[in-house]
Structure 1
Amino acid sequence: MILSALLTSVGINLGLCFLFFTLYSILRKQPSNLRVYAPRLVAERKLKQNTDFNLERLLPSAGWVKRAWQQSEEDLLEKSGLDGVVFMRLFTFSLKVFSVAAIIGVFILLPINFLGNQLLIDFSDLPNKSLDSFSISNVNNGSNRLWIHFCAAYVFTGAVCYLLYNENKVIALKRIAYFYASQPQFHHFTILVRGIPVQAGSSLSESIEQFFREYHPLTYLSHTVVRRTSKLQQLMDNAEKLYGAVDQLKSEERSSQRLGLFSNKDRHLRTLEKKLEVTEDNMRMEQSSLHEKEVPAAFVSFKSRYGAAIAIHIQQGVNPIEWVTEQAPEPDDVYWPFFSASYFRIWICKLVVYVASAVLTVLFLFFVLIVQGLTHLEQLESYLPFLKSILTIAFVSQVITGYLPSLILQLFLSFVPPIMKMLSSIQGYISMSAIQKSACNKVLWFTIWNIFFANVLSGTALTQVSVFFEPKKIPELLARGVPAQASFFISYVVTSGWTSLSSELFQLVTLIWNFLRRIFAKEEADDLIISSVPYESEIPRILFFVLLGITYFILAPLILPFLLVYFCMGYLIYRNQLLNVYAPKHETNGKFWPIVHNSTIFSLVLMHIIAIGIFGLKDLPLASSLIIPLPILTLLFNEYCRKRFLPIFQAYAAECLIKKDREEQNDPRMTEFLDKLIVAYQDPALKPSQYSRNTDSQTSPLLQSTEI
């Protein structure tokens, strides 16, 4: 890519960002758009709708930037939980890392690269020169200036490890402090037990009761057996739809009668009411047979957190595949469809997920190859000769090579997070937060492989498969491929980063939906659906940009200013979104942070491997050899951090659990909490029906018995 093509891409995306920011600052002030740009405040009744006309509404302003900036971390913790704080600290951590990188890269490495003469540069025609002139490729082979890049690699690695260690320490302390400050949580007192053996002459519930009263007599409280309720839940969903349709028809009929109009919807109404009655009867028949659909699994609750922790971390039975325990999720976080599947079916589903992920990865490679063709005009002209006359137009060629490839790749990539979340949902996880975390990992590594490695190796490794069986050649292969794609990834940061952040602020899809709802909806909906931050898509996107910045730090430091702009924009925009738009549905207490740590370590090691190959290609074998200890030291640092911090993110220490239990030992509110805990893990499908024909059935639960 030439410099003018990059400037064209930057200009287009700056224009889009400015447009989105301007429209947002105007549209957010309109009363009709409060459900789009401040749904959380509307739901919390902290924002009143003012219909009085004011000229200020039509003028753009940046007041939202000031409010987002002034929001403290304590406010963020209160509004969005620890996951929201960890998400925002990912931006601050990245800003710290790339501020250091920019100081070294832009002010030291970039001038050295540009002043090299390995590539011939005509300063009189600089706009039409390749961006390779700003990369390490322009430094003369064997030049002593390469030792500055060598030193920069060591300094930058040390700075990243120092910042990463401090961030691990801060977030670990915040996780413990958040635990101490929290009210009693149901999942801290509850475990999930699977593989429950049923004793002869006893029911499943009796077997659980007998086992835990015998081996946990002082701490055992109650249990709730899990049942297969997928069919019942489907019937309830159908009843909910029919009930809504009947209610709407009755409302329309009453309106027609008030206006003296004749309604011919009586027959349709009676048909829907009959279907609702049949569905309710089927619901009752299904609930009466639920005792035959028990799953050998149960949520077992204890009187203390420490009692639940002991049951989790100590093998319960002699047979290790029986009485298998794990931490229960929050009641609202339980993914109930998981319990409707047998172990064999879950095993098959996991196999299907692995195969589907591999197939998706291979299929996506074809799109990557097509996109790569757009970055090289000569290839595009050879494949599509009829475009040759159009491609001679300077602006068209600059748009195609500088803007279009990243845009196409981003459009295809937007479909990946929902697919990965769907695949994770059938993999056997027992909570929606675990599904989201699994999808986050899948999307991250999918992005790294399909966007980074596939682009880098598309012209070499895909035609030289044997290289993967010769590890010694991998550094050289990466050293040849990575610098060649620097211009593409700079454009990708601008297109996928800047524009996607501004579109996140603008909320175009939600804005259009709100506009259509106001036009076609008969009545204002009472319920307001507030979404949560899509961590499974946003965290991998941010971490991929971190990988690009670390990888290209010594290769093409021109990318660093664009990344700094991205992280600054993301910091302000997502603080605004967490304040006004998103509300947490589930809380993992910061468990997304180990993903950040692992990805950062991977990025550093990848940078080191590429540096080994680069110094080898640049005829500086001594520097290539002296870089080898750097990835080893980084992996040793990683191992220390895993021993020091990872256990804190996996489970709370006995010291924390016992201290918290003792603080609440004499709290009179604990009695009420334990009473609620007994029924907290009841399947939502077993709760009272809301669509019954009479008052008694409206208040009666579908299943009367609860195991205690």
Structure 2
Amino acid sequence: MNIAALLTSAGINITVCVVLFSLYSILRKQPSNFNVYFGRRLATLSSKNVDLSLERFVPSPTWVMKAWNTTQEELLTIGGLDVVVFNRILIFSIRVFSVSAIICTILVLPVNYYGRNTIHKDIPFESLEVFTIENVMEGSRWLWSHCLALYIITITACTLLYFEYKNITTLRLVHITGLPPKPSQFTILVRGIPWSADESYCEAVKKFFTYYHASTYLSHQIVYESGAVQKLKDDAEYACKVLGDGLEQSCKPTMMQCYFCGGTNNFKIIANEMDSIHSRTSYSDVHMVPRKKLQECAAAFVFFKTRYATLMAARNLQASNPMLWVTDQAPEPRDVYWSNLCIPYKQLWIRKIFTWVASTTFVLVFLIPVTFTQGMTQLEKLEKMFPFLTDIVKKSFMAQLVTGYLPSVILVVFLMGVPPVMMLLSAIEGPISRSGRKKSACCKVLYFVIWNVFFVNVFAGSVISQLSVFTSITELPAQLAKAVPAQATFFTTYVLSSGWAALGFEIMQPFALFCNWFQRLVLCSREDSYNGFLRFPYHTEVPRVLLFGFLGFTCSILAPLILPFLLFYFFLAYIVYRNQILNVYITKYDGGGQFWPLAHNTIIFSLLVAQVIALGVFGQKRSTIASGFTIPLLIGTVLFNEYCRQRFLPVFKNDATQVLIDMDTRDKNCGRLEEIYDQLHSAYCQFKNSSTLAERFSYPDKERIQRLQSSENLETGKNNIQQAISWSHR
């Protein structure tokens, strides 16, 4: 591939982006599309302003400025810590690849271009291999520039990683200590409750925790097996029963008396009746009043009096048989994945094996389309496979289009089916939280794309040859050193197709827009329904950003031309995703920043792979000095990663005893414990948290903003932040 083919691909993607962004800036102003492009705002605001001026039909960059000026505190309030972590990944990528682009443009690119004493063509007709390290002669004394650039990039990345990890750890501590107290801090999930013919699961839980946790046990709530239809039926029966009891007491004995009595008094009597029911029933039996007909599961939420007691119960082994009375820290109420709680605990290891086998099989099957797309980058192989294309590909423009644009587009189309499949496999695996399911899917997608987009494309060929590459680990650096520079041009076009164009489609939301138009034009409905119930797609966007970072690190000194295209993608993604978070995506639950350790590990892996490839290249080029200096860099990167694992990672795995006891003491002194206890059962009500249509959009953005703006909570929040910062430095 030459520069002209690369510019053809870039031109096509730039045109697509300009058209899509211009359409978006017009369509977002139309009142009929508000439910597509302002779903989050419509979910929290009661009214919308309609501007009927001519400006509605003219593209404008005002949304860019609004997204740019949004602060991190606003993102934290709107989307939670996971959104902030994703934003910090983009900021880290912008910073590190800005440094990489400057260093490689000054040091590496001239050395690559003038690496051999050859006559160069005009720039548009130059082969892209001229700009890679392949063009440097063996034994060249200029290879020290590549080694120096690798040192600067690695030190910059590790320094930025350290400060990002430190800041995000502080934010997580603030997330834990934030107001109001989170129900999950007082709740554990118990699974594997032993079955007994003499007593129900509810009685078994109460008996066990009353005996073994007598001083700290508060109450519990059993988990039931019930489908959506059964839930609605039971709710209707219970509502009729309560209304009937209230009417019988307020107006006896005829219905005529009911007509003349006031409706307000009836509701007061119903409320009094409910109060009397709660007063006659203990904490652990409240949930049994309306739900006696439901089938109990071998799982329950158990509530404790303090956070510290909850932590100890969640961490410790409860029985001599590890498969019984299994305890975990409970997710947040809106984060609970209710359909998986009734899965028998003994089945989980079988499900994990099944998902691992299914994921591996899917990866191997995907070798076929990847190998096919890789063959399209080479005209000779393409003409042999499809002889009827010989006359077509001889044309200059068609050759540039086929080799520079189509392969990456076809691969992107095939990869579109990967995230849904991985999300399904992650759900089958049995996670207890929705954030856990999304994180598991994110890991699977990340491993999939790194393997198929990078390694399989690097070692493209028959399936047997792809698998035989790794028969000898000692030959791996040499194999990578030969293959990666040759495929750097394909990775560049992949960034254009999967990055730039994907951002245009992301901001346009074509599927939601089509559904909205179909509803209004075909079904003739004028209601502002929320299309898609959009949540932020972490399982697709986090792997994409980390994959591009992986490609940037591995190709930085080998083929520096990829860096400007990557840098432009990260800048564009920074604006687009901030806009989507502000206007489109609705946050229902927050995973507490658990994506950052995954991002950190991926970046470290990227650095190590880049260093291993550089070591192989320096060995091939017979540069002993450069090879010798690369080995200490490898060791230093591993040691840095180990330090971060020891210093920061435990905060993301477990809550600190010191933090929890301080919070318990503060709540006790403020007299808020009784209020917290009263809210636990309602927070983990299984049928209230079941996703009805209206409840999906009840995320209390207004309440959170008002709570943050109140003076008392602001003062307490400042104290929490100061405590969290002090804890993070200990």
TM-score by length of 2: 0.84
CA distance in 1, matches of 2:463, 2:141: 31
Q: Find the counterpart in structure 1 of residue 419 from structure 2.
A: 417
State whether structure 2 residue 158 is matched by structure 1 residue 164. Answer: no
CA distance in 1, matches of 2:201, 2:541: 43
Q: Find the counterpart in structure 2 of residue 494 from structure 1.
A: 496
Deviations 1:185-237 (A, max 9, x none): 111111111223357844322222122222322321111222332xx335558
CA distance in 2, matches of 1:10, 1:71: 30
Contact 1:233 1:685 in 2 (8 A): no
Q: Find the counterpart in structure 2 of residue 365 from structure 1.
A: 367
Structure 2 counterpart of 1:92, one-letter code: I
Q: Find the counterpart in structure 1 of residue 378 from structure 2.
A: 376
Q: Find the counterpart in structure 1 of residue 65 from structure 2.
A: 66
CA distance in 2, matches of 1:686, 1:165: 39
Q: Find the counterpart in structure 2 of residue 684 from structure 1.
A: 687
| Cα gap change, 1:464 to 1:398, in 2 (>3 Å) | closer
Within 5 Å, which residues of 2 pair with 1:144-155? 144-155=141-152
Residue among 445, 449, 452 paired with 1:450: 452
Q: CA deviation at 1:655?
A: 1.6
State whether structure 2 residue 590 is matched by structure 1 residue 587. Answer: yes
Q: Find the counterpart in structure 2 of residue 174 from structure 1.
A: 171
Contact 1:86 1:590 in 2 (8 A): yes
CA distance in 1, matches of 2:162, 2:11: 38
Q: Find the counterpart in structure 2 of residue 432 from structure 1.
A: 434
State whether structure 2 residue 192 is matched by structure 1 residue 195. Answer: yes
| Cα gap change, 1:662 to 1:354, in 2 (>3 Å) | same
Within 5 Å, which residues of 2 pair with 1:237-386? 290=294, 293-386=295-388
Within 5 Å, which residues of 2 pair with 1:592-671? 592-667=595-670, 670-671=673-674
CA distance in 1, matches of 2:438, 2:339: 15
Structure 1 counterpart of 2:657, one-letter code: A
Q: CA deviation at 1:169?
A: 0.2
Q: Find the counterpart in structure 2 of residue 394 from structure 1.
A: 396
Contact 2:334 2:689 in 1 (8 A): no
Deviations 1:368-413 (A, max 9, x none): 1110111111111111111111111111111111111111111111
Structure 2 counterpart of 1:562, one-letter code: F
Q: CA deviation at 1:670?
A: 4.1
Within 5 Å, which residues of 2 pair with 1:28-67? 28-45=28-45, 48-50=48-50, 53-67=52-66
CA distance in 2, matches of 1:536, 1:579: 19
Contact 2:10 2:496 in 1 (8 A): yes
CA distance in 2, matches of 1:77, 1:651: 22
Q: Find the counterpart in structure 2 of residue 123 from structure 1.
A: 121
CA distance in 2, matches of 1:482, 1:156: 18
State whether structure 2 residue 540 is matched by structure 1 residue 545. Answer: no
Structure 2 counterpart of 1:684, one-letter code: F
Residue among 199, 212, 216 paired with 1:215: 212
| Cα gap change, 1:640 to 1:49, in 2 (>3 Å) | same
Contact 1:121 1:129 in 2 (8 A): no
Contact 1:191 1:312 in 2 (8 A): yes
Q: Find the counterpart in structure 1 of residue 719 from structure 2.
A: none
Structure 2 counterpart of 1:674, one-letter code: Y
Deviations 1:407-454 (A, max 9, x none): 111111111011100000010211111000000000000000011000
> What is the RMSD computed on CA atoms of the aligned residues?
2.4
Structure 1 counterpart of 2:499, one-letter code: G
| Cα gap change, 1:688 to 1:550, in 2 (>3 Å) | closer
| Cα gap change, 1:408 to 1:121, in 2 (>3 Å) | farther
Q: Find the counterpart in structure 2 of residue 260 from structure 1.
A: none
Aligned-partner SS, 1:123: coil
CA distance in 1, matches of 2:125, 2:682: 70
343-352 or 4-13, which moves further after superposition? Answer: 343-352
Q: Find the counterpart in structure 2 of residue 516 from structure 1.
A: 518
| Cα gap change, 1:686 to 1:502, in 2 (>3 Å) | closer
Structure 2 counterpart of 1:615, one-letter code: F
Aligned-partner SS, 1:326: strand
| Cα gap change, 1:238 to 1:552, in 2 (>3 Å) | farther
Contact 2:323 2:346 in 1 (8 A): no
Structure 2 counterpart of 1:22, one-letter code: S
Q: Find the counterpart in structure 2 of residue 574 from structure 1.
A: 577
Aligned-partner SS, 1:577: helix
Deviations 1:603-643 (A, max 9, x none): 01101110111011111134223322322221111111111
CA distance in 1, matches of 2:182, 2:617: 53
CA distance in 1, matches of 2:172, 2:690: 33
Within 5 Å, which residues of 2 pair with 1:688-699? none
Structure 2 counterpart of 1:136, one-letter code: I
CA distance in 2, matches of 1:99, 1:164: 15
Residue among 209, 233, 238 paired with 2:228: 233
CA distance in 2, matches of 1:354, 1:222: 37
Deviations 1:87-121 (A, max 9, x none): 11111011111011111111211111111117x45
Q: CA deviation at 1:672?
A: 3.3
| Cα gap change, 1:663 to 1:416, in 2 (>3 Å) | same
Structure 2 counterpart of 1:175, one-letter code: R
Deviations 1:132-187 (A, max 9, x none): 11111111111010011112212211111111011000000011122223311111
| Cα gap change, 1:465 to 1:77, in 2 (>3 Å) | closer
CA distance in 2, matches of 1:620, 1:288: 77
Contact 1:227 1:295 in 2 (8 A): yes
Structure 2 unaligned spans of 5+: 236-289, 694-730
| Cα gap change, 1:661 to 1:121, in 2 (>3 Å) | farther
Q: Find the counterpart in structure 2 of residue 18 from structure 1.
A: 18
CA distance in 2, matches of 1:526, 1:504: 21
Aligned-partner SS, 1:217: coil
Contact 1:105 1:557 in 2 (8 A): yes
Aligned-partner SS, 1:472: helix
Percent identity over paired residues:
47
Residue among 562, 565, 573 paired with 1:562: 565
Contact 1:493 1:563 in 2 (8 A): yes
| Cα gap change, 1:399 to 1:85, in 2 (>3 Å) | same
Structure 2 counterpart of 1:193, one-letter code: V
Structure 2 counterpart of 1:63, one-letter code: T
Q: Find the counterpart in structure 2 of residue 282 from structure 1.
A: none
CA distance in 2, matches of 1:561, 1:439: 30
For this pair of structures, how many residues does the alignment match? 638
| Cα gap change, 1:60 to 1:33, in 2 (>3 Å) | same
Aligned-partner SS, 1:145: helix
Aligned-partner SS, 2:366: helix
Q: CA deviation at 1:239?
A: 11
Contact 1:228 1:339 in 2 (8 A): no
CA distance in 1, matches of 2:39, 2:498: 26
CA distance in 1, matches of 2:656, 2:456: 43
CA distance in 2, matches of 1:465, 1:687: 46
Aligned-partner SS, 1:137: helix
Q: CA deviation at 1:330?
A: 1.5
CA distance in 1, matches of 2:233, 2:19: 44
State whether structure 2 residue 535 is matched by structure 1 residue 532. Answer: yes
Structure 1 unaligned spans of 5+: 241-285, 691-708
606-615 or 314-323, which moves further after superposition? Answer: 314-323
CA distance in 2, matches of 1:365, 1:464: 9
Structure 2 counterpart of 1:64, one-letter code: W
Contact 1:149 1:554 in 2 (8 A): yes
Deviations 1:567-591 (A, max 9, x none): 0000011111111111212101111
Deviations 1:633-687 (A, max 9, x none): 2111111111111111112211211122222224455433312212432322898
